[in-house]
Amino acid sequence: MMARKLEPLLSPADGFLPRLRKILSRWPLHVILIVTALLWMTPSIGLLISSFRPATDIASSGWWTAFQTPFEFTLDNYSDVLSQNRMGQSFLNSLIITIPGTVVPIMVAAFAAYAFAWMRFPGRNALFIFVVALLVVPVQMTLIPVLRLLTDLNMAGTFPAIWLAHTGYGLPFAIFLLRNFFGALPKELMESARLDGASNMRIFFRLVLPLSVPAIASLAIFQFLWVWNDLLVAMIYLQNPELAPMTLTINNLVSSFGTEWQLLTAAAFISMALPLVVFFALQRYFVEGILAGSVKG
Amino acid sequence: MPAFLFVTVFLIYPVIDTLRISFFNRNSTEFIGLDNYEYVFTNSTAQSALLNNVLWLVLFTVLAVGLGLLFAVLSGRVRYEAMAKAAVFIPMAISFVAAAVIWRFMYAYAPEGFTQIGLINAAGTGVGLEPIAWLVEHPLPYTDVTLPGPLHTNNFALVAVGVWMWTGFAMVILSAGLKGISTDILEAARVDGAGEWQIFRRIILPVLSPTIAVVATTLVIQALKKFDMVWVMTAGNFETDVVATLMFKQMFNFSDFGRAAALAVVLLAAILPIMLISIRRFRAQEET
In one-letter notation, the amino acid at residue A123 is G
- The answer to whether the Cβ–Cβ distance between B225 and A140 falls below 8 Å is yes
- The CATH number of the domain holding residue B121 is 1.10.3720.10
State the DSSP string of B67-130: HHHHHHHHHTTSTTHHHHHHHHHGGGGS-HHHHHHHHHHHT----TTSPP-SHHHHHHHHTTPP
Residue in A with minimal Cα distance to B8:
A168
Numbers of helices and strands, H then E, in chain B: 15, 0
Please give the C-alpha separations between residue A244 and each of A83, A85, A91, A254, in angstroms, as whole numbers. Answer: 15, 12, 9, 15
- The answer to whether the Cβ–Cβ distance between B14 and A141 falls below 8 Å is yes
What are the chain B neighbours of A295 within 8 Å (beta carbons)? Answer: 214, 217-218, 278
First to last CA, chain B: 29
- The answer to whether the Cβ–Cβ distance between A61 and B11 falls below 8 Å is no
Cis amide prior to A70 (ω within 30 degrees): yes
Radius of gyration from C-alpha coordinates of chain A: 25
CA torsion A20-A24-A29-A35 (nearest 10°) is: 100
What are the chain A neighbours of B225 within 8 Å (beta carbons)? Answer: 138-140, 297
In one-letter notation, the amino acid at residue B160 is A
- The answer to whether the Cβ–Cβ distance between B268 and A131 falls below 8 Å is no
A82-292 belongs to which homologous superfamily?
A: MetI-like (1.10.3720.10)
Question: B257 to chain A, minimum CA–CA distance in Å?
Answer: 7
With a cut of 70, list the residues of chain B below it in pLDDT: 1, 288
Q: Please write the tens of the pLDDT for every residue from A134-159.
A: 888 888 889 999 999 999 998 888 99
Euclidean distance between CA atoms B234 and B241, whole angstroms: 8
With a cut of 70, list the residues of chain A below it in pLDDT: 1-15, 22-23, 69, 292-297
Please give the C-alpha separations between residue A188 and each of A85, A193, A194, A199, A201, in angstroms, as whole numbers. Answer: 58, 8, 10, 16, 18
Euclidean distance between CA atoms B35 and B43, whole angstroms: 11
pLDDT for A293? 60
Domain boundaries, given as residue ranges, for chain A: 3-77, 82-292
Euclidean distance between CA atoms B13 and B8, whole angstroms: 6
State the DSSP string of A109-175: HHHHHHHHHH---TTHHHHHHHHHHHTT--THHHHHHHHHHHHHTT-TTSHHHHHHHHHHHHHHHHH
- The answer to whether the Cβ–Cβ distance between A37 and B83 falls below 8 Å is yes
What are the chain A neighbours of B1 within 8 Å (beta carbons)? Answer: 111-112, 115
Q: What range does the domain containing B189 cover?
A: 2-287
Q: Please write the tens of the pLDDT for every residue from A90-123.
A: 999 999 999 999 999 999 999 999 999 888 888 8
Whether this model's ipTM surpasses 0.90 comes out as no
Question: Is residue A8 classed exposed, middle or buried when 0-12, 13-18 and 19+ CB atoms within 10 A define those classes?
Answer: exposed
Assess contact for B31 and A161: CB atoms under 8 A. no
What are the chain B neighbours of A134 within 8 Å (beta carbons)? Answer: 7, 11-12
pLDDT for A9? 42
Nearest to B267 among A138, A165, A268 (CB): A138
Q: How many residue pairs bridge chain A and chain B with CB atoms within 8 Å of each other?
A: 281
pLDDT for A294? 54
Structural domain count, chain B: 1
What are the chain B neighbours of A33 within 8 Å (beta carbons)? Answer: 71, 74-75, 78, 84
DSSP three-state, residue B24: strand
pLDDT for B288? 65
- Most B CBs within 10 Å: which of A136, A149, A282, A287, as the mutation test of the B interface? A136
Interface of B with A in 194-223 (CB under 8 A): 195-196, 214-215, 217-218, 221-222
What are the chain A neighbours of B184 within 8 Å (beta carbons)? Answer: none
B117 interfaces chain A, CB cutoff of 8 Å: yes
Helices assigned H by DSSP within B149-242: 153-179, 183-191, 196-199, 205-225, 228-234
